Every structure is written in C-alpha cells, then in structure tokens.
Amino acid sequence: MSNVYRPGWRTQPWIVWLLAGAFIAAYALFAMQPDTVQNQLVYTFAVIPVRFDAQSPDHFAAWYEALLPFFGHVFLHGGWLHVGVNTLVFMQGAPFLAGRMGTARFLLLFFLSAIGSAAGFILLNLHDQTPAVGASGAICGVFTASFMSERPSWREALSDPQVRNAAVMFLVINVGLAGVASASGILPIAWQAHLGGFIAGGLAYLAFGPRPYVGPWSPVRARSVQDD
C-alpha cells in the first residue's frame, strides 16, 4: 500500500521474534518425539471439536484441560513447510502491529485471536474428530488488526477503499479459497479457524487498539511513506 499511516518505530519488536522463534522451537521439539508422544501432544493441545461435546467419550476429564487447546494449537504444526509458511506470514504482518500496539496489548490480541480461531473451528465442526493445529488462525487475527491500524484510527482504515479492499482480498484467500481447497481435498486447511481468528482479531483491536495520535506532543507521530 502507498501513503500508509506508519508510526515512527524503527526496530523489529522483540515480541515478534520471540513468538516466531517459539513456533519453530515448539515444532522442532515436537518432531523429535516418538510417534506415541506426538499423538498424545496432538490429543492434548490440538483443537478437536468432539472433545468439547459433553456426551462424547473423548470429552475432557476436567474443565481446565479444555483450556489447553485454545492456546496450545498455535504451537503445533503439521510439518516443517506448515510452520515455515506460518512463521514467514506472521513476520510479514506482525511487526507493524506490534510496534503500533506495544508488547502487552499485542500479545493479548494474538492470544484472543487464537481463542477465536479455536472457537470458530469448534462451532463450525461440531462433533468432528479432525484435529486442527497451527498458528494461521491467530495470524489471521493479527492481519485483521494490522489492516485496521493502517490509518490513525480504525474508522479511517475501514473507510479507505485501499485498506478495505486489501482486507477483503485477504479474507477471500484465507477463508474462501481455503474452504474450496479443503472441500476439494487439495489441502486440509481449517478455514473455519481462519474465519474465527479474523473476526476475533478485529474485535480485539476495537477493544484494545491504540487511540489516534493527535498533536505535536503525541508519543508517536503519523507520517506518510511511499512503497518502493
């Protein structure tokens, strides 16, 4: 995008590198485990809709066990290609947003997006035994918030055709085309998780996003930049 509102941060926020490293390290540790351990980790931390059915024999034994998949699925992946693509996409969309929001609020938004991602997959796949893993749903929430932060206020962002069209295209690709790919058996993409994360990220930004900076004494000033 051109003429995009950008705060004047100059360095990559450390929290982005920390999360990206956590994705890779978690999968590396997972990949080194024997199959029996991997299966148990997936059963414990992946989002498996049928386990949230109180009538299912696979239902969680304790309420706190049901909380683990809402966060743990982010750090499980289906292979090196899966974690590599997710990490690269995350590194593209997260730095600006993290710099805009600050560490604490960015982390809150990321994990709320993860919760929304898990909830979307569960609600749209009731009683399904298929596990969902990966950070892509939470990353969709990060991108939603990033689009909303591309202007001094989210209202300005959503009213700007350039930003709005980019957000719609992102949604079409990651939900619409992902759904087609999944239904046709091309790729097992959890588009429901993408949709849940996309919605949760937007709602989280509305609740916790930074207020517009106004005046010469603002902590961060707005400036326009041109893409190369």
For residue 18, how many other CB atoms are within 10 A of its CB? 11
Percentage of residues of the chain with pLDDT beyond 70: 87
With 70 as the cut, is the pLDDT of residue 159 above it?
yes
Rounded to two decimals, what is the model's pTM? Answer: 0.87
pLDDT > 50? residue 9: no
Which of 111, 120, 152, 131 has the alpha carbon at shortest distance from 7?
152
DSSP3 helix / strand / coil % (the chain, rounded to 5): 65, 5, 30
With 90 as the cut, is the pLDDT of residue 167 above it?
A: yes
b or e along 164-182 (b: 16 or more beta carbons within 10 Å of the residue's beta carbon)?
eebbeebbeebbeebbeee
Give the helix/strand (H/E) hosting 225: strand 224-225
Dihedral angle at the C-alpha atoms of 6, 8, 14, 17, nearest 10 degrees? 40
Q: How far apart are CA 221 and CA 216, in angstroms?
A: 7
Q: What's 53's DSSP letter?
A: -
Q: Which two tokens stand for residue 124?
A: 């749209």
Which pLDDT band, with edges at 50, 70 and 90, does 227 fall under?
A: very low
Task: Return the sign of the alpha-carbon dihedral for residues 10, 12, 13, 14.
Answer: negative
pLDDT of residue 213: 52
User: Does the pLDDT at position 224 exceed 60?
Assistant: no
CB atoms within 10 A of CB 220: 13
Q: Which residues share a beta bridge with 5?
A: 224
pLDDT tens string 30-81: 999 999 999 999 999 999 999 999 888 989 988 899 999 999 999 999 999 9
Q: How confident is the model at residue 87 (pLDDT cuts 50, 70, 90)?
A: very high
Q: How far is CA 3 from CA 145, 149, 160, in A?
A: 18, 13, 11
Taking a C-beta distance cutoff of 8 angstroms, is the pair 174, 163 a contact?
no
